[in-house]
Chain A
Amino acid sequence: MNIIVMCKSVPDTMDVRFDPDTKTMIRAGVATVINPFDLFAIEEGLRLRERYGGTVTALTMGPAAARRELQDAIAMGCDGAILLSDAAFAGADTWATAYTLAKAIQRIGAVDLVVCGRQAQDGDTGQVGPGVARQLGWAQLTYVSRVREVDPAAGRIVVERLMEDGRQTVAARLPAVLTVLKDANIPRTATLRGVRRAHRAIIPTWGPAEIGADPALLGLAGSPTRVVRVFSPPARAGQVVWLTGATPEDSAEALLTALAQEQLL
């Protein structure tokens, strides 16, 4: 089985704030890491390779520096990696990102399975996985909590999906695109051997020409959405009202009185 795992390079913090007075972003730093949700995708790809054989290739679209995250993916055990990086890709929203990734997957060829994380930690949309599936015309299996079985010969996969109101078991034809949840697995850490291999690995960088993309559909030009304003969320009104009493019973009574006033009882 030839498996592609998607991994996005994201800022190593969620503690990004917007200061309305100075109109600047307050941030801890700009160090980047593999999107934490994508670690589950990489792990799932590696486990499927262990069960069914084949290769796992990490794929990302991002700045040249995202090479470091691809090296991290190789250090975890991926066989190779491909970086999609070009000025023409910059400013892409989820549509243009999915288009670019789908074109790259077509170029790689003979792919059986694409595994993505549920969403990216920074953008939080969860739209790229479905977009890639649809652009490729492949089965789309989102919010997967467990891959039950794959039959590469028959071209069939069975997964469990976690929804708000229950678990759906779905069978689909391969090739397919999966987005996995964190309860699918526990991601492994890199081994020393993996780290050494990652440093020796040759990671090709592809641009629009290599993936045969239509320039009009890439980057900002291919993006139907525009961010027009950014601001900090309104603060929660008021400060905490302390209800700590002399005894736990006093605290409990004070809370129930407050909840009754809030019409919550």
Chain B
Amino acid sequence: MTMAAPLRIDQELCIGCGACVEACPHGALALLAGVASVNERCIACGLCLSACPVEALSLPAPEAPSAAAGASGGVWVWVEQQHTGVAEVSWELLARGRILADACRAELVACVLGAAVDEVAHAAVEHGADRVLQFDSPSLADFRAEAYAHVLRPVVEARQPAIMLFGATTRGRDLAGSLAADLHTGLTADCTELHIDAETGLLVQTRPAYGGNIMATILTPATRPQMATVRPRVFEPAVPVPGRVAPIERLPDTLAEYDLLSQVLAFAPSTSDENLASARVIVAGGKGVGNAEGFGLLSELAALLGGAVGASRAAVDAGWIGYEHQVGQTGRTVRPELYLACGISGAIQHRAGMSTSRVIVAINTDPQAPIFDIATYGIVGDLFQVVPALISALRSRVAADGGVGR
């Protein structure tokens, strides 16, 4: 079956080498009568383009930005509030937003939404915002993508920011997904790198796909704002400057509760131990932990290191620990300073959720376990011997100098 897939193949140039067929993860390319042919599986991902040695493959070039697309355009950051306060990723976005705003000589704007959020607005100024848009309403007290998108949308349409950034958190993905749908603009998920292209002025967004095995660079050439969610702990947070002054605009409360489709009935905060996203240290266990009691040992070590407990899918599926602790593609993506993997073999799905941690320590009885391929430090041994030894060594250090670290 031949169909008009977006990929173009120059049959004159094609030498029938089959490199593109090999390159396509979707099975969209085949050799027919000695030349490459594309079928309807093609999703225009572009993975084949660089595989072709004779540049016979192309995708339609993006349209040039329209005049409206270049209009006004600040760099806007959504300041996310979680149960315990402002999410650290928001300050990371303000720091990165500063660099982007300076590169396109634009204003850095913080959007603060909630009920009675004066303090948060001031904190946003101290963290570098040139302007704060404060949306204050009792109906914004609990996060609802619907309500937040409802108040943001008309202001975005009126002021036309060039760029809008959100943390790649449950709330950030929820809200950005709503707004981008409303505004018919591009949204790139889970970015790990953002910069402004010096020539075109476009936001260059890079993100992992296929569980981190592939990186893709994505542009939103013609529509505005260029929206992105950004993974926590990728950028350094902004350093607050106490007493810094910038305009705080309070927008009128336009939200009527009867317009909304949903209602928050309750919020049950998790224990700090469960909050993996913000943990600086994570002690994680896998199949090798053997049972729920084994996780008690890991909790003890985590407590001494001031960290949280994580788990592989195998351990969660076995019922030894709750799903909220799961790290990996089907659980949470984490990026702590220290990730201590105990009895985790390191399947690709697990690595996808933790491979960008700063220091990875692996303790495993199998020296061939794939976790050692990405580990900074490795110990081949039984975690039931090594972890208790670590606990008692840490305890004696505490006893010796009255405290371990920070």
Which A residues touch B382, using CB under 8 A? 248
A243 contacts B377, C-beta separation under 8 Å: yes
Which A residues touch B82, using CB under 8 A? 163-165
Size of the A side of the interface (Cβ < 8 Å), in residues, is 102
Which of A22-30, A46-54, A72-80, A195-203 faces chain B?
A: A22-30
Least CB distance from A231 to B in Å reads: 5
Which A residues touch B380, using CB under 8 A? 242, 244
A225 contacts B173, C-beta separation under 8 Å: no
Closest Cβ neighbor of A171 among chain B residues: B263
Q: Is there a chain A Cβ closer than 8 Å to B24's Cβ?
A: yes
B268 contacts A125, C-beta separation under 8 Å: no
Which B residues touch A217, using CB under 8 A? 184
Least CB distance from B373 to A in Å reads: 8
Which of B42-50, B103-111, B240-248, B292-300 faces chain A?
A: B42-50
What sequence of 0s and 1s flags, for each residue 133-153 of chain B, a beta carbon within 8 Å of any chain A beta carbon?
000000000111110010000
**Known interface pairs A165-B84, A242-B380; A92-B330 also in contact (CB < 8 Å):** no
Please pick, from A14, A32, A168, A224, the residue contacting B210 in the complex, using a CB distance under 8 A. Answer: A14
Q: Which residue, of A24, A65, A138, A164, has the highest number of chain B Cβ atoms within 10 A?
A: A164
A265, B376: Cα distance in complex, Å: 16
A132, B324: Cα distance in complex, Å: 26
**Known interface pairs A91-B5, A124-B208, A134-B182; A165-B174 also in contact (CB < 8 Å):** no
B6 contacts A14, C-beta separation under 8 Å: no
Q: Is there a chain A Cβ closer than 8 Å to B404's Cβ?
A: yes
Within B353-368, the residues touching A (CB, 8 Å) are 355, 359, 361-362
Within B363-406, the residues touching A (CB, 8 Å) are 372-382, 385-386, 388-390, 392-394, 397, 404-405
Which B residues touch A173, using CB under 8 A? 261-262
Least CB distance from B120 to A in Å reads: 16
**Known interface pairs A91-B42, A233-B208; A168-B23 also in contact (CB < 8 Å):** no
Q: Is there a chain B Cβ closer than 8 Å to A152's Cβ?
A: no
Within B19-58, the residues touching A (CB, 8 Å) are 19, 22-28, 39-47, 50-51
Q: Is there a chain A Cβ closer than 8 Å to B60's Cβ?
A: yes
Which A residues touch B211, using CB under 8 A? 14, 121, 124
A221, B146: Cα distance in complex, Å: 27
**Known interface pairs A25-B51, A138-B261, A233-B213; A91-B40 also in contact (CB < 8 Å):** no
Which B residues touch A63, using CB under 8 A? 28, 39-41
Within B289-328, the residues touching A (CB, 8 Å) are 305, 322-324
Within A101-145, the residues touching B (CB, 8 Å) are 121-127, 129-131, 133-135, 138-143, 145
Q: Which residue, of B269, B324, B348, has the highest number of chain A Cβ atoms within 10 A?
A: B324
A220 contacts B180, C-beta separation under 8 Å: no
A230, B149: Cα distance in complex, Å: 32
Which of B70-78, B123-131, B157-165, B218-226 faces chain A?
A: B218-226
Within A169-221, the residues touching B (CB, 8 Å) are 169-173, 176, 181-183, 217, 219-220
A169 contacts B177, C-beta separation under 8 Å: no
Q: Which residue, of A25, A32, A95, A176, has the highest number of chain B Cβ atoms within 10 A?
A: A25
**Known interface pairs A24-B22, A124-B209; A87-B5 also in contact (CB < 8 Å):** yes
Closest Cβ neighbor of A186 among chain B residues: B317
A176, B260: Cα distance in complex, Å: 12
Please pick, from B3, B87, B338, B397, the residue contacting A264 in the complex, using a CB distance under 8 A. Answer: B338
A226 contacts B178, C-beta separation under 8 Å: no
Least CB distance from A87 to B in Å reads: 4
A139, B149: Cα distance in complex, Å: 12
Size of the B side of the interface (Cβ < 8 Å), in residues, is 124
Least CB distance from B180 to A in Å reads: 7
B174 contacts A140, C-beta separation under 8 Å: yes
A228 contacts B189, C-beta separation under 8 Å: no
Closest Cβ neighbor of B50 among chain A residues: A23
Which B residues touch A223, using CB under 8 A? 186
A53, B219: Cα distance in complex, Å: 45
A39, B6: Cα distance in complex, Å: 30
A244, B266: Cα distance in complex, Å: 49
A163, B80: Cα distance in complex, Å: 13
A256, B387: Cα distance in complex, Å: 12
What sequence of 0s and 1s flags, for each residue 54-69 of chain A, a beta carbon within 8 Å of any chain B beta carbon?
0000000011110000
A127 contacts B46, C-beta separation under 8 Å: no
**Known interface pairs A18-B213, A90-B43; A225-B386 also in contact (CB < 8 Å):** no
Q: Is there a chain B Cβ closer than 8 Å to A45's Cβ?
A: no
Which A residues touch B146, using CB under 8 A? 139-140
Which of B91-99, B249-257, B274-282 faces chain A?
A: B274-282
B170 contacts A228, C-beta separation under 8 Å: no
Which B residues touch A125, using CB under 8 A? 189-190
Q: Is there a chain B Cβ closer than 8 Å to A4's Cβ?
A: no
Q: Is there a chain A Cβ closer than 8 Å to B1's Cβ?
A: yes
A172, B265: Cα distance in complex, Å: 10
A128, B393: Cα distance in complex, Å: 49
A255 contacts B268, C-beta separation under 8 Å: no
Least CB distance from A234 to B in Å reads: 9
A251 contacts B386, C-beta separation under 8 Å: yes
B177 contacts A126, C-beta separation under 8 Å: yes
A256 contacts B394, C-beta separation under 8 Å: yes
B170 contacts A24, C-beta separation under 8 Å: no
Given contacts A129-B177, A138-B261, 11 further A-B contacts (CB under 8 A): A16-B25, A22-B51, A62-B41, A122-B25, A130-B178, A170-B262, A182-B330, A233-B212, A249-B393, A262-B338, A264-B281
What are 29 contact pairs spanning A and B, CB under 8 A? A14-B348, A15-B213, A17-B214, A18-B214, A30-B25, A90-B42, A91-B5, A121-B329, A122-B25, A122-B210, A124-B329, A125-B190, A133-B181, A139-B262, A166-B267, A166-B268, A166-B270, A170-B144, A170-B264, A172-B263, A173-B261, A224-B187, A224-B223, A225-B187, A227-B45, A228-B217, A230-B217, A232-B213, A256-B390
Closest 7 CB pairs of A and B: A130-B177, A91-B44, A224-B186, A30-B27, A134-B181, A252-B389, A183-B323
